[in-house]
Structure 1
């Protein structure tokens, strides 16, 4: 006969924190099992002659906490099929107690009654001993699953499950992603246990250098409105941009439109590319910020009309990335980059079909932005045409085409009008882009490299002429060519 499971909370400290109801249940339990013997109330139960079992043997047998908790839940379910079981856990059963969450999910499926009786949570002692009011805003986080994105400096942060110095070290490193190294934090050990509790105030960098970590340890990170902390959050950036666009904000920012900022978006993107070419991380960090500002401004304009917000932009991007990477977030596999790209294209086609667009009825060249730089656009057009078989079979044919187009340019120079010369020169450049594709070289990168090389060599000419007491206007072509060849020998490409 199924008897069921009653879960009791032992509180975070000694027997003085037990509720009267929980104490009576402990005294009357036909079969009492503690999750662990490592709790202050356990000694009291022994002293009172209250018999109990524990799951400590499972902790010793399992390497992973998840496996431990699953085994505990399975054991409880099995015992409850034949007798009433009282299961006692540290703190409050519904606060940071994964075994109880498992029981809440599994008991209904197994047809086993489950009753949960609360106890004092370790949070009660945290509020009392650390001395903050949770109404100011707080978050409770798990040290074993702590990530930078969870942190919010405007909330009091209590971190539980800080079992040892290794866990404290992981907590410290994660907090340092947002907080300065000397930020004041507090470690609380055995809060509420008379004669054992301690609260240690330390700068963040010393968090893992103190002793006393164990099953009853917490870390408290006080809330702060300091700009240096808030400035590391997207929420603060969103707030600043909204202020700039508000009636009390900046007159220039208020006047901007999508159209007026169009060129800024392009310029900022190219400035980021320049930092990539320079291999300058500090400059790149700054320019990526300028590019992000453009995204924020355009999003803010739409938020003001009620169309969407930057958080909609982020949500849409996250959903798209997950959807288009089934080999990472789903069940499909991808052994190499080509298969991954095929998955991406397959997902894009499926998205089009959901929008009522039949990919098979679109032009093979569809999807190439009209405002791309010409070299980049030529490359994309050629790649799309090649997918459906409209392509040269070998590189020799491409070189022959370049020779042919060069001849037509020369002929247009001798006999053609300006429009014809422009047309023929475009054909020549298009053919050169085809060659770059066969050589697996991005034409934009190739030309950018040559541009940088030209600048270096020309600046060498300027420097050498200045050393000779000459300006560019005073030098003839022969002298400049001599210095150009000298630069070629001294400088690598």
Structure 2
């Protein structure tokens, strides 16, 4: 007789207290089944406790590990083990598909574990947060993890929500990343427990982000878009180049071709070399910008002709760097610059041979 396959139902507790808990999720939680919580630190949990809900929370797992990925992997391992015996319910803050790594791991491993994963829904904290800061994000927004925030991922012309800003150290790291893209006095909002009776919103200047405000696992940071052009943003630069080549743009730029631009690329590269020889850092920045202009003009012409885009250029370069640095991105060992150069030439020769074939 074939063993019955059990399931894991993942339910979202919403962003706030019991008032935001969907009726369907509430009924699931009240049913007679084994309940697990990623964390008991949620406004709805204390109210559910008063109604008699019994559960097992994974807060202690966080204390056993230094890295979040290890925490999530242990939680998932426990859930699959428990599901071997019976159907279980796993409840997470917000919505199961918004900023919930454990849910993604459950889905990725469900086939191998022969366990069905059911999603019971729940309200995301995003809706509550935008209501808290009185913003309609229709022009676009980004949701990023405060633990892994990288400045180059940020689009300053969009609303930005930074989740998991749960302590002062994380807030400090988020602040430093944001200050590479925004003015120090750009106004941001710290939003805690959005949508609940404990909701707190504090507007402050970016440089004050890690100063004197209570932070926990229900805390996010909202960053409004910059109103002025962000001239440090690569996407903004692309738009400027496209505008120069547009029908109503600059006549000189519109008239250029790959062939006509050749002499300018040679000229600008020569000026870069002069700046290096003169150890003139300020001039080097300017001249490298002029070389970048030539690259972008060629890419814009290529895009207009339907032949290639700047993304193709970037992809080609990135692929080449990974392919020719197996000692960094693979298992090859290279202990010296000479070994690296030998590997580079060997790989380059193999690539040329493949092209000839």
Tell me what 2:302 maps to.
Answer: 302
Tell me what 1:467 maps to.
Answer: none
How many Å apart are 1:225 and its aligned residue? 4.2
Relative to structure 2, which stretch is displaced further, 256-265 or 84-93? 256-265
Post-superposition Cα deviations, 1:73-117, rounded to whole Å, max 9, x if no partner, equal: 000100110111111111111111111111111122111121111
How many Å apart are 1:193 and its aligned residue? 2.1
**Partner Cα separation in structure 2 for residue 60 and residue 256 of structure 1:** 62
Q: Which runs of 5+ in 2 are unaligned?
A: none
* DSSP 3-state at the match of 1:103: helix
| Aligned partners of 1:29 and 1:85 also within 8 Å | no
Tell me what 2:325 maps to.
Answer: 325
* Higher percent of residues as strand: 2
Counting only pairs closer than 5 Å after superposition, residues 166-315 of structure 1 correspond to structure 2 as 166-194=169-197, 196-227=198-229, 229=230, 231-315=231-315
Q: Which has the higher contact order (CA 8 A, sep 6+)?
A: 2
**Partner Cα separation in structure 2 for residue 257 and residue 192 of structure 1:** 56
* DSSP 3-state at the match of 2:356: coil
Q: Which has more radius of gyration?
A: 1
Relative to structure 2, which stretch is displaced further, 269-278 or 32-41? 269-278
- The two structures have a TM-score, normalised by structure 2, of 0.95
**Partner Cα separation in structure 1 for residue 227 and residue 352 of structure 2:** 45
Relative to structure 2, which stretch is displaced further, 112-121 or 235-244? 235-244
Q: Which runs of 5+ in 1 are unaligned?
A: 358-493
Quick one: which of 125, 142, 146 aligns to 1:143?
146
Tell me what 2:65 maps to.
Answer: 62
**Partner Cα separation in structure 2 for residue 279 and residue 210 of structure 1:** 44
| Aligned partners of 1:12 and 1:125 also within 8 Å | yes
Post-superposition Cα deviations, 1:411-439, rounded to whole Å, max 9, x if no partner, equal: xxxxxxxxxxxxxxxxxxxxxxxxxxxxx
Q: Does 1:130 align with 2:130?
A: no
| Aligned partners of 1:29 and 1:86 also within 8 Å | no
- The two structures have a TM-score, normalised by structure 1, of 0.70
Quick one: which of 119, 122, 138 aligns to 1:119?
122
| Counterparts in 2 of 1:198 and 1:356: CA distance versus 1, 3 Å | same
**Partner Cα separation in structure 2 for residue 27 and residue 324 of structure 1:** 58
Q: What is the aligned residue count?
A: 354
| Counterparts in 2 of 1:307 and 1:62: CA distance versus 1, 3 Å | same
Post-superposition Cα deviations, 1:291-312, rounded to whole Å, max 9, x if no partner, equal: 1111112222222221112221
**Partner Cα separation in structure 2 for residue 261 and residue 3 of structure 1:** 66
Tell me what 1:338 maps to.
Answer: 338
* DSSP 3-state at the match of 1:274: helix
Tell me what 1:3 maps to.
Answer: 6
* DSSP 3-state at the match of 1:355: helix
How many Å apart are 1:220 and its aligned residue? 0.8
